[in-house]
Every structure is written in structure tokens, then in C-alpha cells.
A and B are shown apart, each in its own frame.
Chain A
Amino acid sequence: MSSTAEPGGVAAKAGITPQGMFVRDATGLVRQIGPWHALAIAIGSINIGGGFIAFFYMLGVFPRADLPVTLILGLIASFALGAVYVQLVCSLPRTGGDYVFASRLLHPVLGASIGGAEFLVFATFPAFWAANFSTGNFQGVLGSLGQLLGWHGLTHFADVTIASGSGKFFVIGLILLLALTAVVIWSTKAGARILSFCFVAGLTTLVIGLIVLLTHSNADFVRAFNATYKGKATYAGVIAAGTKAGYTGGFSFSNTLSALPYAALLIWGFSWAAYPAGELRQVSRTIKWSVYGSASIAMIFFLVTAFVANSVLGTRFIGSANFLSAQHASLYTVPAGPSMTLYTGMLTTSTFLQFIINLIPVLAEIGIITVYLMTTSRILFALSFDRILPHGIRSLSRFGTPAVAVIATAISIGVMFTLAIFTSLLTVWSNGTLGLAIIYVFVSAAVVMLVYRHREIWDSGPKTLSMKVAGVPLIAIIGAFSTAFALLIAILAIVKPLEIGPLSWKSIVALVIAFAWGAVVYLWLRSSYKRQGINLNAVLTEIPPE
């Protein structure tokens, strides 16, 4: 092997590489985000802790769905979307995710529309969880910490001083948001460490919560439930009320199938590492690890949770509680909504375990807010790089972080959080799920376009699924299936909005605004650039090589 290049000679290395080629001495491409942090981003986005809290929500709509079967089928359907993202990231490994895929593979206007929608729609999710943090979960963890340490002043502070009042809730949530924003601006590494911590600690607390459930019987739960709501509600009373309202128990095939999209929603978020795709190291390996790994981890947790819920809490009980809570609230006399963390907490008197169980939602909320600050800012960054948003948004801080984009993201989350605390206006954004489903329709369709309309890109990049079925590339079939599945979720979000979010003219207007503003800005810019002699469409589309 020659180590020094001389004029007229090529410094080639003897021996073939594992990739089946010979290489010479030349500089190499190195990227930043490795599999571990990409997995942490995806796990943080899936928000397993949040899913654990709201685990039963599909039963509110389809109370006779068989949870484990629904989850398994939902996972299979979601893996189609996962395969779509893996292929798109491998073919277009650029920061910006859906905006890049849509603008390059479908149309620049559509890309701008999706990028703009994500900026607003994505802000509602962390805002929702920040509101949950400030209105109850923070107090819960603080109160149980006081119990654990014997600091009664802390417990009193949590249970009384900050337990009520919109102003106090606002301050708590704002402090959390500002603190996490400061960390993400200060250092991407520090933000990633928070994610890693929430990932490891969050999964640990969830495992402990499941162990608490697994070490108790249904009889233990019945006793605990009746003792907790002494005089207000009983386990048998909930089941009886459910029967009275029309819930007959048992499983129904149609309910199980109908609940599929809701099961898929539980693990959506596994694709979030696509947003900083330009920073992924060994893109193909990292994105596969992130997407399939996070979806698998989440689904294992949810499947175990489903089996435990059926055996410990009782299928008839969870069906009745969710059916009543969602569809017959007047018959639901339990003071709190159905929740796995709530039920798990009832089963133990240990102050340590109570503290751990209370940590589950808090870790999930901190993780998901951090994830959104780190990923949504990358979408703004990409829009700014393409000049669709002002140039200043892509400027870096003295710490090398996209500070302006992060601050803009934090402001959007802060505005949504304020709406959630002081008004009921956040509900107009509650069709974020519909928005997400629409985005996934286009992203899934984009991979089909990649195969058939952008052969240069398709042929040049790695093919994650190279198999063909009847002459059709498998990824195109998967893309078509994923498009149909996302479309089904979009339709369900419209016709079965219960639990996903009320559909009203206000929420439709909000969604139209979300999708329109990016497109309007793009069209205005296109016109502006045209006057300067630049064709913006041409800038964002592929140059014909022939």
C-alpha cells in the first residue's frame, strides 16, 4: 500500500473492501449523529411514556377491539411507513425530512406547504405535553418526592401551593420550555444527552411500572381501585354502567380492524430521525436502526402493556371505563380518566415506587419537548437554506447551534402552550393527527414517485428493499400501501374524530391555515425571485442530466 501520492501515480490500497470495491487514498465523508442518538430522537418522538398514559384511547372509540391483535397489525402497517422513511432518507439524506422529500419528489409548493404545516402542527404536540406537565404531572412527581424524602413542605407545595391556578401552571410550563430551549441552544450535545437520559430513565421507569402491574392480580387491582375511590366509584360499578350504556364486552373483528390506525398512531414518531438526516452518520444503517429499532422497542412495551392490562385490570373493566369516559361521560363517575399510570399507582403503597411511577410522564414530557425543539428547528433550517424563510433563521449561535430556528420553534410551542393553559383555543389545533396523516399520505406517495419519476435518484442511492414483486419494486408497493393506510387514518380522523380531536369548522380553518401559509410564502417568493431573474422552481427541482 502506498501512503504517499506522487505526481503521476495513484495511491491505491491493495485488497478489496467489504463493499466489494478497491479504494484509493482520498478524503472521506463523516457525519455527526450516530445510531444511539438517532434512536433516542425516535424514541423521544414516539413518546412511549405518553402512550403508556393514554394507552387505552382506542378503546374509547372501539371498545371491543382486541388490543394485542390490533397492536400487532398496527405495527405491521406502521413498518410500511417506516420502510418508506428509510428509503427516502437513504435516497435524499438531507436535513429537513418531509419538506425535502415533498419538494424534491412531488412539487416545491407542496414541500413548502408541508414544511409550513409541520412548523405549526408539530408545535401543538409538545404544547399539549407541556400543559400536562404543568397542570398535574410536575406536581405529582414533586409531591411523591416529598413523600419519599419525608419533606412534607415539598409535598404541601406540590399538592396545595402550585396545584391550581392557570398563572401558576403557565409559569411552571414556561420555565420548563425556557430551560430546555436554553440547553438546546447552548449545545446540541447537551440536548442529545437529555434525550439519552430520558430514553434510558424513561424505559427503566416503564419497566418498573410493568413489574408493579405484573406482580399483582386482578383481585389486588379490584381492591385497590375500590379503596382509592371509596364512596365515589367501584370496579363492579364501572362494568355495570358500561353494560347499561351498551358495552357488551368481548372482542369484535370489525372493532379490532377499525382500531388499527389508532394502534399505529401510538408508535408514530419513529421516523423523526429523518428530520436531521443530513447529520446522520452512516445514513443507511443509522436510519434503519432508528426507525425499526424504536418502533420495535415501543411495540414490545405496548404489547406487554396490553397483555398486562387485560390480565390485571380486566378486559371488561378497561373496555367499560374507556367506552364510558369517551362516549357516555355522564355515566362515568370515576373522578379521573382511564390511565395506566393512574392504575399502576393504585397498586403500590411504596413511596419509592409511587415516585418512579410519577416520573414516567414527566420524563416523557421533557423528552418530547426536547425532541421537537431539536427536530422542528431543522425543518425551519431547511426552509431557510432554500430561501423560503428568511436567511437569518439558518444562522448559527456562537455555540454552533441553529439558535434562531430553535428560538422560533420554542416561540411556536410557547404560543400553543399559552393557548392550552388560558383558553380552549388549542382544541382548534386538535386535528393535528389529521394534519400528520395528510403529511404521511404525501410522504408515502413520494417514495412511489422516487421509483417511477426520479430514476436518477432512485438508481444512484442505496436500495433498502431491492426485491421486486411481479416486476414492481417492493418499496413502490409498500409506498402505495402506506399511502392508502395514511389516507385511511385521515378519513378516520374526519369521520371518527372522537379521541383524536373534535372536527369543527374552526379546526378545519386552522388546518387550512397550517398547510396554506408555507405555500403562500413560496408562491410569493417565486414571484419575487422571478422578477430578479431566478426561477425558484428550477432551483428546487432536479437538473436533467441528459
Chain B
Amino acid sequence: MISLRSRSSAAPKKQPTGRLRVFYCGDIHGSDVCFRKFVNAGAHYEADVLVLGGDITGKGLVPIVRLDDGTWRGYLHGQPRSCANGEELEALRLAVSRAGFYAVEVTADELARLEQSADGQSDAFRTAMIEQVSAWTALASERLAGTGRLCLVMPGNDDEYFIDDYLGDGETVQNVDGKVVELQNGIELVSLAWSNATPWNSAREFSEEKIAERLGELSSQVERPQSAIFNVHVPPFASGIDTVQKLDDQFRPVVENGMPVEIPVGSTAVREAIEHAQPRLGLHGHIHESKGEARIGKTLCINPGSDYASGRLHGVLVDISPERVERHIYTEG
């Protein structure tokens, strides 16, 4: 499905100091405002490299229905929204987009047909995703061109494969999934979008064996693992940054003795790869509610969490040199 790609160099043109400043975030799930903030984070935080660690596309499609009287009606956050004119309609579209959903304008008949057709919804999702990812790539290319800042993006387990063709322009914005990219001072970035199994059967889930095999292939290309960064969407198993509430078959929280049961759901293969390679830094996402950091041997693993639906971009700013992680600070822009 994804072929092992060759090593590439992506050294930023601007290197103001000996250290490299990386801004990392993930799991923006279709939030237009979060992506715009991500693109602007470079200037805001004076970062050299921007990394978007997967789960880029949205999960919800919000139909906005044109009524017979010429007005529009839709729902956002479960609340009805009416639009009397084009201006209000545009405002609703914007609010839907900011919340991480895709707005689709339909008539009542089209909505009825859409409700009955999984294929119809699938097509609508596909169209919306491609439109948005294409627009984002264009936006990032336009804003970052000539700034000397690198913009490295990759999909996550929730992102369908077809978006890969629209993710990145190959120059200013690069899709680094399945690649080893050299940044500066010999620091290499290893990226992998896959996750282990989840209850949701998302697009890029693989067995632990497959993940181990894939990470092994990528790790073998790294020349200096001790100074490398592992940009792996799923966090390592039982690291404290992979904790979720246990769910039953109906996705309901499992409660025992009146309290929710918490379990680790990270990848054992990722943990073993980190334990073996001991990179300088691990950047992870996937588990929105498990923001934090963990030490696995010499490796500092960070999950900045996500709260994309509120429009706030959770991230982490890391100053790194080949010798050490000099400092890191969480951001909430």
C-alpha cells in the first residue's frame, strides 16, 4: 500500500542558531482554524520546522438544508442553526468548518437520499476531504514559501489513503509518512502514520507485527538513531500518554464500582522500537485525552493531546540539538 521511500534531505534554509526548534501538533481532524493556526505557528513561535503528526481529516458531515422559503437550516453541536440569508449561511459554514466538520448544502430530498445511502455519504466525505486537504496544502505553500520554514505533514490512522495524493506539494509542504527525513545538524525524522487496532476500524490500522516490521525498515535507514526524532502517530504502549477509558462493544465507558476503568491502548511495537533504537525524541498523538510525556530509556516521548473541536491548537515546542532535547514547552494556541 505504501512503499518504503528513499531517504531525503529537508534541511531548513534558515538556521539562526545551532539548535533546531520543532513545533509539533496532531489530530486536528478537519478543523480549519486549527490548520490555519498550525501554518502560522512557525512565525508565532519562531519555529524552524512544523510537524503535523496525523489525523488531519474530519469525522462529521453537517448537512445544511435549503428550505422552501429560501432559508437554510442545520445543526452544530446538537443545536439548530437557521440562516436567513447568504451571509448567515456563510457564517454557519465557517462555524462548521472551525469545529472540524464538513458542511454540505442539500435540499430536503437530497438529505433524505443521503440518509439512506452509505455510498452517498462516503462520496460526500471524499469530496469534502479532498477539497479541504487541497486547499490547506495551497494555503501552507502560499504562506510558508520563502520563509525558510519546513512544513512536514503526514496522515494518521483516521485519514483515508486517497488524501495522500493531495497532501503536500513536494516542496514547501511535504508528506513525510513512511520516510526518514534529515533535518539539520544530522537530526533525522522518522515518520509513520499507522496505528494498532482500535474499536472504530479506522483507515490505517495494522497488526503489531506489521507495525514492528515497518518501523524496523525505517529504523534501519537512520544513520544516527541517538539523535533522531520518531514522529509516530500512535504512542508507545503503557507509557502514560496512551491512557483511555475502556469501552464496551457499544462504545460505552466501562464502569466498575462506580468508576471508569482506564487502560493503555498504545502500540507495543512502537514501544519496542523506541526501546531498541533509543531516539532522542518521540512525537505522538492519537490519544487526544492523554496529553503528557514519558521517558522510555533515554527517549523523551511527548503527546501534546488534542482539543480540535474547540478551535484550540494543542502542540509542543521542542528545542533540540544532536546532543540533547534542550527544552520543551506545551502550547495551546
Contact = CB atoms under 8 A, between A and B. Distances in A.
Contacts, number: 219
A14 B121 contact: yes
Interface stretch (B176-184, B211-219, B268-276, B323-331): B323-331
A12 B200 contact: no
B79 A29 contact: no
B37 A466 contact: no
A68 interface: no
Contacts of A20: 62-63, 74-76, 78, 80
A542 B331 CA distance: 9
Interface stretch (A90-98, A173-181, A476-484, A499-507): A90-98
Identify the interface centre among A2, A21, A386: most chain B CB within 10 Å of its CB.
A21
A34 interface: yes
B158 interface: yes
A456 B44 contact: no
A539 B315 CA distance: 10
Interface residues of A, number: 74
B280 interface: no
The bracket for how many chain B residues form the interface is 35 or more
A231 interface: no
Contacts of A472: none
B125 A10 contact: yes
Interface stretch (A204-212, A248-256, A347-355, A528-536): A528-536
B40 A460 contact: no
Nearest to A29: B288
Contact of A543 (B29, B40, B122, B126): B40
Nearest to B75: A20
Contacts of A9: 122, 126, 160
A16 B115 contact: yes
Interface string B157-179: 11011100000000000000000
Interface string B1-37: 1000000000000000100010000000101010011
A8 interface: yes
A87 to B, nearest CB: 12
A466 B79 contact: yes
Interface stretch (A188-196, A368-376, A490-498): A188-196
B136 interface: no
A25 B60 contact: no
Contact of A10 (B33, B63, B160, B258): B160
B63 A26 contact: no
A2 B202 CA distance: 11
Interface in A498-546: 529, 532-535, 538-546
Interface stretch (B145-153, B185-193, B224-232, B245-253): B245-253
A93 B307 contact: yes
Interface in A9-43: 9-16, 18-32, 34, 36-37
19 contacts: A7-B160, A20-B62, A20-B63, A21-B60, A23-B61, A30-B253, A32-B245, A32-B260, A189-B257, A281-B245, A459-B95, A460-B99, A462-B78, A532-B326, A533-B21, A535-B45, A535-B46, A543-B333, A544-B40
